[in-house]
Amino acid sequence: MNALCFGDDVAQHIAFELETRGYTVEPPAQEDFGWYFRFSLSGKPHLFVIGRRPVEADWLGSIERVPFLFVKRPVDPEAPLAIDAALSDPTIFQKVLWHYGEQFDAGEEEFGSPHP
């Protein structure tokens, strides 16, 4: 357990919101980088990872498709829409921006969009 690993409440809230929308969600768990949980869309398992960036004073999340026998599979297009819906309460989540991994990795955060 990493005492400086924040985000359990954020992960639990997003997981709860997904469950209320009918998705199957496993309980969040901690990793060195933050928190994660698995959720399924039409039987397709995905992973949502969230961690805090202290220098930027914000949170960073990513969606991945759970690989099968080390084979990387594409994220179901419904996955970002489901997470976006779970983040839709403006009293809890503000300034949510979505990025393509390639753009974000290239440092082009200014190209973020408020919805996937």
Report the share of the chain in percent with pLDDT over 90: 66
Between 29 and 6, residue with greater pLDDT: 29
Helix (H, G, I), strand (E, B) or coil at 4: coil
pLDDT tier for residue 48 given thresholds of 50, 70 and 90: very high
pTM, entire model: 0.88
pLDDT tier for residue 19 given thresholds of 50, 70 and 90: very high
> What region does 107 belong to: left with phi over 0, alpha with psi -120 to 50, or beta?
left
Question: If you average pLDDT over every residue of the chain, what do you get?
Answer: 90
The 10s digit of each residue's pLDDT in 69-91 is: 788 889 999 999 999 999 999 99
The H-or-E segment that residue 60 falls in is strand 58-65
| Residue 8 CA: distances (Å) to CA of 27, 41, 79, 112 | 10, 22, 20, 25
| Residue 25 CA: distances (Å) to CA of 57, 85, 102 | 27, 15, 27
| Ranges of each domain in the chain | 8-111
The answer, yes or no, to whether residue 54 has pLDDT greater than 90, is no
